[in-house]
């Protein structure tokens, strides 16, 4: 089986930096992925890490440590539009398993 | 370009009624297709996945079934809905390779009354 743990809610101010952590246990592992979901909408892809290290895409970065079964999503220069839920997901050989999500509240 | 269509967007059904949700993909062949369910304020629960026509794997035994009658069509069904079947149902297409990514349909918000 698999389990993923993320904080349920995080609050930060506009312009700040926030890190959302994800720890996982899984029977098989290809990579760790991150998705953003606004209220009422479908999840959208942010990043995928197959190898250890940090990957940067604009204001968002994602990190993976396979030995620690740990990853995080780093959001910089927060904007109000970043208020959403963020999900980590493990890629387990043709199947994606999602965490319960972290609700990010960005305040002015 | 590659797109994924899912309908209907919302659905209100009485307990005991049947269900059929359809998902189709354009712009690719032999896609890996998935059905997820999301309860309010929760994560996505993997229900079914399919790697080809007629090939269905179930993750959680429950009151639902899935079928893949055509390469780019994936259907979620139930013969008799339960109150606990209410939720946000999402069809997804996952591409694997240098850019492994899941593309989601718009979702179907199902309320069983």
Local mean pLDDT, 10-residue blocks, chain B (113 residues) = 88 97 91 93 92 92 91 96 95 85 94 97
Residue A93, strand partner residues = none
Give the distance from residue A32's alpha carbon to the nearest chain B alpha carbon, in angstroms: 10
Which residues of A fall within a CB distance of 8 Å from B49? Answer: 94-95
The tokens for B3 are: 């797109």
Q: Which pLDDT score is estimated for A87?
A: 97
d(CA A71, CA A49): 9
Q: Which pLDDT score is estimated for A53?
A: 97
Q: Flag if A33 and B101 touch (Cβ within 8 Å).
A: yes
Q: Which residue has the tokens 């919302």?
A: B10
DSSP for A54-94, written as a single string: EEEETTEEEEEETTTTEEEEEE-S--GGG-EEEEEEEE-SS
Mean pLDDT within A4-14 = 97
DSSP element (H, E) containing B35: strand B32-38
Q: Flag if B101 and A30 touch (Cβ within 8 Å).
A: no
Tell me phi and psi for residue B15, to 5 degrees: -55, 135
Give the distance from residue B97's alpha carbon to the nearest chain A alpha carbon, in angstroms: 10
Tell me phi and psi for residue B85, to 5 degrees: -80, -5
Q: Which pLDDT score is estimated for A85?
A: 97
* Sign of the torsion angle spanned by Cα atoms B43, A87, A32, A19: negative
Pair B104, B91: CB distance under 8 Å: yes
Give A14-68 pLDDT, tens digit per residue.
999 999 999 999 999 999 999 999 998 999 999 999 999 999 989 999 999 999 9
């Amino acid at each position: 089986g698999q389990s993923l743990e993320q904080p349920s809610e995080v609050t930060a101010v506009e312009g700040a930096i926030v890190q959302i952590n994800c720890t996982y246990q899984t029977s098989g592992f290809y990579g760790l992925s991150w998705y953003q979901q606004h209220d009422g909408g479908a999840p959208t892809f942010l990043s995928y890490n197959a190898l250890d290290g940090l990957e940067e895409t604009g204001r968002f970065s994602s990190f993976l440590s396979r030995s620690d079964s740990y990853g995080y999503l780093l959001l910089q220069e927060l904007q109000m539009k970043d208020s959403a839920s963020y999900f980590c997901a493990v890629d387990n050989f043709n199947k994606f398993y999602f965490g319960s999500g972290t609700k990010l509240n960005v305040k002015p | 370009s590659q797109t994924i269509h899912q309908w209907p967007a919302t659905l209100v059904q009485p307990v005991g009624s049947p269900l059929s949700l359809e998902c189709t993909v354009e712009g690719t062949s032999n896609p890996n297709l998935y059905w997820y369910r999301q309860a309010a304020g929760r994560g996505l629960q993997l229900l079914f996945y399919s790697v080809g026509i007629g090939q269905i794997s179930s993750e959680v035994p429950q009151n639902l079934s899935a079928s893949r009658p055509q390469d780019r069509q994936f259907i979620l069904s139930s013969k008799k809905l339960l109150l606990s079947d209410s939720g946000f149902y999402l069809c997804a297409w996952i591409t694997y390779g240098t850019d492994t990514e899941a593309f989601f349909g718009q979702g179907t918000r199902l309320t069983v009354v």
